[in-house]
Structure 1
Amino acid sequence: MHFTKEYDLSSLMISISGVRGKITQGFGLEEALAFSKSFATMMNGGTVVVGRDSRPSGPYLESLLTSALLASGSSVLTLGLVPTPTTKAVVNLAKANGGIMISASHNPMEWNAFKFISKKGFFFSAEENQKLLSILQSGSFTKELVSPKGYIDSGEDYIDLHLSSVLKRVNVNKIKKKKFTVFVDAVGGAGSYVVPKFLQMLGCKVISHNCNPDGTFPRPPEPTAAALKTVEPSFKKSKASIGFALDPDADRLVLFTPKRGAISEEYTLPLALLNVLTNSKKKSKVVVNLSTSFLNEEVASRFGCEVIRSKVGEANVVEEMIRTKSVFGGEGNGGVIDPNIPSFGRDTLSGIAHILNVMAETGKSIDELMDELPNLYMDKQSFPLAKGMSLQSLYEKFTSEFSPKLISEKDGLWMYVSDSWIHIRPSNTEPIFRVITETKSQTDLESTLKRVKQCVES
């Protein structure tokens, strides 16, 4: 008898960021096993890399996933508690068939997720995600083997190769000579061990804060400047040269400076970009997403470089970087993407290395580098969609209100309006829509936000 179960996926967030949901509301053992078996079927007996963050549900989801992979004939290279970029890098370095990072990133503790990784360390494309879902809904899983040949092995040596690959992108000796004191807040997540170790390899004195991965997040998991206000006193007490804050899976990076405290996540990418373009010998292309600040255009213009804007989402930025042969890229949420590192995605280690390197090369403090960048006038808000309203009708209200000079519909609605932009789009990771706005002055921002509020609430 052939029996195919119909799975209710309505409560899950399924996108290029993988599949995520609340453990007790749609992403429990039954659903996780179904996705594990579907993924194992796609891997077809090859080697698979598995990493996770510090969420309490991580170990049992890892065991479930490992069992499904072994039963289908795959071997598992297990990394334990590591950043998402490290898992991606190891897939590439080990020439594995694919991998999974078990992490719901900045979502609260009751959430977890599978981030699906294909060959060469890239997140699943839309086509690969659709294939995975087709296998799940049809129930056409690989049958369990009586005598599978797969095995479990540690990927610890590959983790060190990831760290070494990042070190090759900077002048390690110059950074070491500076003997920077660096403050790290890993929110008790996946970067709790790897990031301090990496900084020590750069000769830094490390002040570890919230680096105990005990299954709790001692501050809000999304590392925004507002969320980090409670951490500022600890950073200032440390007298560190610079501070870095991470999200739970350590693919997003936010800075503290001695003068400013926690600063916007939008500054991470342009500061790293400054280092890359300073050391680039030719005019190049850089890719950022539609929701990322003008700051990157300002830095790129100093070097005669072109900035290209992609859809939101790491996979979309990477796809555009490959298409345009860009030297660098990233997202304004603190995601730095260096194509010369085998993670080829948002990588906190890359961001840390490039920012420390520009400090070492120029002899300038992080606050002096910040003084050379324009002020940021940006607002990011999230809203539930009003009952009975479609996204399309919402977009029409914004278009009517602002009469934009330029429109892009490649990812929601992006409008350019007199030296400012507004981006309205559904979230890939939460059941909400986002409105991101950037202007050239505080007065313009306040005026624009009043009009945004009218569009959302009326």
Structure 2
Amino acid sequence: MRISREYDLSRLMISISGVRGKIANGLGLGEALLFSQSFATMMEQGTVVIGRDSRPSGPYLEHLLTSALLANGSSILNLGLVPTPTTKAVVNLAKARGGIMISASHNPMEWNAFKFISKGGFFFNAKENETLLNLLKHSQFAPEIIHPKSYVESGEDYIDLHIKSVLSRVNVPKIKKKKFKVFVDAVGGAGSYVIPALLRTLGCQVIEHNCKPDGTFPRPPEPTPAALKSVEKHFKKSKAEIGFALDPDADRLVLFTPKRGAISEELTLPLVLKNVLSDSKKGSKVVVNLSTSFLNEHVAETFGAKVIRSKVGEANVVEEMIAEKAVFGGEGNGGVIDPKIPSFGRDTLSGIAHILNLMAEEKKTIDELVSELPSIHMDKQSFPLSKEYSLNDLYDKFVSGFGRATISKKDGLWLSEGDTWIHIRPSNTEPIFRVIAEAKSEAKLKETLKRVQTCVES
């Protein structure tokens, strides 16, 4: 779809997660300027927070965005290189009009993105995204101010406030007493400084790996066990008691354990959930997305809590958490959401602190805590999504192939057969569709995957 005479935005991924694309082949200077002007118009001369990850394209996109905001009379709190949750937290703490995170999260280095943040530190909802796109489509940008009184200042002090808010949720003296030896792989991204600083504040001995934020991403940026195979030997050599791996903007968290190495990203959420629910009332509500593991229901049932499933996407999970007054939430990709922390979104600082607190309170190793959870039997696949491909036709094949399943079309197609579920949906961040399946036994998962393959190939 051609939105303006000059720029074709069809190569961009525009979704609830913001706008992202490949530099010079999608998100070029022209496209970035259009989105910057639309965003600046929505900010109405308020204070705006800007953060970015370590991608080489980050600085020039930051300056472009800064120029558009200053021209419209907004003032800027510039955080520089920080995690996405820190940017969100500072928007909240500084009572800013809004904010923007320049990061394509787990996408490769040649990608970048704008993640739009509204008042209170929440990502733009569907209505706000629609407003931004309408401004862009019709070129309804606010005129430049001849004598702007806007300014740029550092928001470094607010970064410390984010760390303090995380510390307030855990027993700091008890964690400090343990003097944990902790390994951190920040993939050369936005968590390279903040995460080691948090850990040292908690009295940990920190072994830093890939913590030079040069934006080259020395391993695949999405922190899955497969992507972390090359890092495992460094973790084991360190003799650390636990390890944490991040994505480039530090909103996804994956663990290393001494016995298992890198473990599934799906284990992060139930471990943190156990720590949160240990101090929550019976009957509390937890929100996870449709693609997240059964393990969270297992932990919730232990504490008499209820799990509610939302659409995929941090903004969707948060919206459901607010509506349900949930005490906790998150996504199975390693995204931990604690509503009592001002980022109120996926936050690796929060996840790290809660897991160390669980180890300290229960006096158990991370391997012991993982062994207490049921085994996970899940498979995640992705397939190219061409413009000619009909997702509705694919959904029909799955409905026929799983004729006895309970169906939900809340987000793509979700099919449940009691001890098994399958979720098929287009990605918010890449031109692919995902098929995720989970079963409560390895045999059942293998049987389910054969049926999935038949549906995809037919």
TM-score by length of 1: 0.98
> Which residue matches 2:203?
203
Post-superposition shift, 1:405?
A: 3.1
Q: How does 1:18-417 map to 2 (within 5 A)?
A: 18-385=18-385, 388-417=388-417
Q: Distance in 1 between matches of 2:441 and 2:386?
A: 30
* Residue matched to 2:446: 446
Q: Is the 8 A contact 1:404 1:415 kept in 2?
A: no
SS in 1 for 2:9: coil
Question: Structure 2 CA distance, aligned partners of 1:404 and 1:35?
Answer: 46
Is the CA contact 1:5–1:137 (under 8 Å) kept in the aligned structure 2? Answer: no
SS, match of residue 173 in structure 1: helix
Matched residue of 1:95: which SS? coil
Q: Within 1, Cα distance between the matches of 2:126 and 2:428? A: 13
Decide whether the 8 Å contact of 2:386 with 2:431 is kept in 1. Answer: no
Contact 1:6 1:137 in 2 (8 A): no
Q: Which runs of 5+ in 2 are unaligned?
A: none
CA distance in 1, matches of 2:221, 2:386: 27
Q: Distance in 2 between matches of 1:216 and 1:387?
A: 31
Query: Percent same amino acid among aligned pairs?
Result: 77
- Taking a change above 3 Å as real, the CA distance of residues 387 and 190 of structure 1, as seen in their structure-2 partners, is closer
Residue aligning to 1:422: 422
3-state DSSP class of the match of 1:203?
coil
Take 2:386 and 2:35, find their aligned partners in 1: how far apart are those partners? 32
Letter in 2 for 1:352: I
| Cα deviation 1:245-272 (Å, max 9, x = unaligned) | 0000000000000000000000000000
Counterparts of 1:323 and 1:67, CA distance in 2: 37
Paired with 1:14 and 1:312, the residues of 2 have a C-alpha distance of: 15
- How far does the alpha carbon of each residue in 1:16-52 deviate from its partner, in whole angstroms, 9 at most, with x for none? 1000000121100000011001000000100000000
Q: Which moved more, 1:439-448 or 1:149-158?
A: 439-448
Give, in whole Å, the separation in 2 of the partners of 1:215 and 1:209: 14
The whole-number CA distance in structure 1 between the counterparts of 2:344 and 2:102 is 18
Q: Is the 8 A contact 1:190 1:213 kept in 2?
A: yes
Rounded to whole Å, the distance in 2 between the matches of 1:201 and 1:288 is: 30
> Residue type of the partner of 1:309?
R
Aligned length: 455
Report if the CA contact (8 A) 2:241-2:258 is conserved.
yes
* Aligned residue identity for 2:426: P
Distance 2:415 2:171 in 1: 40
* SS of the residue 1:398 aligns to: helix
The 1:387/1:29 distance shift into structure 2, 3 A limit, reads: closer
SS in 2 for 1:132: helix
Structure 1 residue 386, shift from structure 2 partner? 6.5
SS in 1 for 2:229: coil
- Structure 1: stretches of 5+ with no match in the other structure: none
Q: Please give the alpha-carbon distance, in whole angstroms, between the structure 1 residues aligned to 2:404 and 2:132.
A: 39
CA shift, 1:431, in A, is 0.5
Cα distance in 1, alignment partners of residues 319 and 277 from structure 2: 21
Deviation, structure 1 residue 147: 1.1
> 1:283 deviation in Å?
2.5
Deviations for 1:284-332, whole angstroms, at most 9, x for unmatched residues? 0000000000000000000111000000000000000000000000000
What is the DSSP-based 3-state SS (H/G/I as helix, E as strand, rest coil) of the residue aligned with 2:214?
coil
**Alignment partners' CA distance in 1, 2:207 and 2:92:** 31
Cα deviation for residue 387 of structure 1 reads 7.3
1:374-415: CA deviation from partner (whole Å, max 9, x where unpaired):
000000000024674411110010010011431110100000
CA drift of 1:281 comes to 3.4
CA distance in 1, matches of 2:84, 2:96: 16
Tell me if the contact between 1:284 and 1:305 (Cα under 8 Å) persists in the aligned partners: yes
Residue 251 of structure 2 aligns to a residue in which SS? coil
Q: What CA distance in whole angstroms lies between the structure 2 residues aligned with 1:420 and 1:450?
A: 13
Query: Counterpart of 1:284 in structure 2: which amino acid?
Result: S
TM-score (ref. length: structure 2) = 0.98
CA distance in 2, matches of 1:44, 1:324: 31
Structure 1 runs of 4+ off > 2 angstroms? 4-7, 385-389
Contact 1:186 1:209 in 2 (8 A): yes
- Give, in angstroms, the shift of residue 9 of structure 1: 1.4
Contact 1:199 1:206 in 2 (8 A): yes
Deviations 1:57-98 (A, max 9, x none): 000000000000000000010000000000000000000000
Measured on the aligned residues, the alpha-carbon RMSD in Å equals 1.0
Provide the secondary structure at the position in 2 that maps to 1:33.
Answer: helix
Question: Does the 8 A contact of 1:271 with 1:355 survive in 2?
Answer: yes
Partner Cα distance (2:53, 2:115) in 1: 12
Instruction: Indicate the SS of the match to 1:119.
Output: coil
For residues 87 and 248 of structure 1, the distance between their equivalents in structure 2, rounded to whole angstroms, comes to 14
- Give 3-state SS (helix, strand or coil) of 2:228's partner: coil
State the shift of 1:6 in Å.
5.5
